Structure 1
Amino acid sequence: MTGADLSDLISDNITSLPLSAPRTPEPVNGERRSFRTIWISDVHLGTKGCNAEMLIDFLDNTDSEVMYLVGDIIDGWRLKKKFYWPAAHNDIVWRILKRAKRDTRIIYIPGNHDEMFRQFTGLNFGGIEIRRAAFHDTADGRRLMVLHGDEFDA
């Protein structure tokens, strides 16, 4: 990646999927931990190695103002070879879309395994902002650049 490419990446605009209700219902009782920001990456939905139940448990027990989905959320490479999409993977997508409706700001930065979504950079689907990169300001005033690591692959 050249400096000009990185500059173009940084200057990108940093500003509905029909799904049935989830198979695994969200819990009704219990305390949810609240965070300012949550980062999730490398989930690889569409693979048998995806630990969907653990992510469902995490999503059911946390809330945040902002959620970054930082690449390889869906494994398009694997899905092209062999389609695998159990109900639990649908449940994860449903939960993320529901968060977007409840005012969680969700920023999706596709990686190399879900690069098919990069063509939608700058658009908003179901409350999910699709970006090539983003900047995040921490509570203590630091500014972080959020992007997927494959941007630096040779």
Structure 2
Amino acid sequence: MDGASTHRYRTVWISDIHLGTRGCQADRLLDFLKAVECETLYLVGDVIDFWRMRRARYWPQSHNDVIQKLLRKARKGTRVILTPGNHDDMLRGYIDHEFGSILVVEDAIHETADGRRLLVIHGDQFDGVVARAPWLGHLGTHANAASQLVNQWFNWGRSRLGYPYWSLSGYLKHKVKHRGRFIHNYETAVVEEARRRGVDGVVCGHIHFPQIKALDGILYYNDGDWVDNCTALVEHDSGELELLRWPEPAASKPPARVVPIAS
């Protein structure tokens, strides 16, 4: 890929890729990784869905291609940092270890080009369901897997009719009763942790809800996911941060800004 088609950023954050599941949009992510260059790449948890893989073996070539691309970026000089999530929590046993030049940390403090300090953390620690009743989290994973299977067939039909990808599972998630309250409680808890740490803001994932906002003087950034939204948080050389929604690989248009989904 030539320089004219490469998007260059100081920092990129992606999370909730869920490799090993049918819902993962690996082809779209691979297209993003090929088109983007950055100094630092944060993998903010749930990169590989070990929860799902314990019950169902699913690992197509496209998922392997994503892993190889991440390793190649690390070998070629990109600083790649992984903060585990609840679906890849087994990696928390390898904190401060490197895998193919990818450093695993519990969380990180990132300093932007304009001097702001941001806590980088997956965020499952602040999800009351996951923290207090892990079995409910696993139950939710199975329900989500079923919705992703329906979503896969739904989009197969759309593609046959010439329509672009549309996340039925994502739409249903955002229509679930009380989801707005759950998101609010989650955001509040994550922001309070950032305040406790004495930083200017927090970058997280976990809830598959891309968002940029300020809450009581603390900056809140959620980089979204690569199942329903295909979003990434990026930092420009100026220190400005924005969310990008990556188009389907067939599209030639540049990435568009995310329009946050109303809760």
TM-score between the two structures when normalised by the length of structure 2:
0.47
1:10-36 CA-partner distances (Å, limit 9, x unpaired): xxxxxxxxxxxxxxxxx4785211100
CA–CA distance in structure 1, aligned partners of residues 3 and 105 of structure 2:
35
CA–CA distance in structure 1, aligned partners of residues 3 and 54 of structure 2:
39
How big is the shift at 1:124?
A: 1.1
Q: 2:22 aligns with which of 35, 48, 58?
A: 48
CA–CA distance in structure 2, aligned partners of residues 93 and 55 of structure 1:
11
How big is the shift at 1:153?
A: 3.2
Aligned to 1:10: none
Query: Superposition RMSD on alpha carbons, in Å?
Result: 1.3
Identical counterparts, % of pairs: 49
Q: 1:76 aligns with which of 47, 50, 56?
A: 50
TM-score between the two structures when normalised by the length of structure 1:
0.80
> What amino acid does structure 2 have at the position aligned with 1:94?
Q
Describe the SS at the equivalent of 1:136.
strand
More helix as a share of residues: 2
Aligned to 1:32: 6
Give the length in aligned residue pairs.
128
Aligned to 1:151: 125
- Would you say 1:102 and 2:69 are equivalent positions? no
Structure of larger gyration radius: 2
| Structure 1 unmatched ranges of 5 or more | 1-26
Aligned to 1:16: none
Aligned to 1:21: none
CA–CA distance in structure 2, aligned partners of residues 65 and 55 of structure 1:
18
| Structure 2 unmatched ranges of 5 or more | 129-263
Could you list the runs of 4 or more consecutive aligned residues of structure 1 that deviate by over 2 angstroms after TM superposition?
A: 27-31
CA–CA distance in structure 2, aligned partners of residues 124 and 29 of structure 1:
30
By relative contact order (CA 8 Å, sep 6+), the higher-ranking structure is: 1
Describe the SS at the equivalent of 1:66.
strand
Describe the SS at the equivalent of 2:92.
helix
1:67-100 CA-partner distances (Å, limit 9, x unpaired): 0000101101100010100000000000000000
The 5 A counterparts of 1:137-148 are 137-148=111-122
CA–CA distance in structure 2, aligned partners of residues 56 and 28 of structure 1:
16
How big is the shift at 1:140?
A: 1.2
CA–CA distance in structure 2, aligned partners of residues 84 and 76 of structure 1:
11
Distance 1:142 1:79, change over 3 A: same
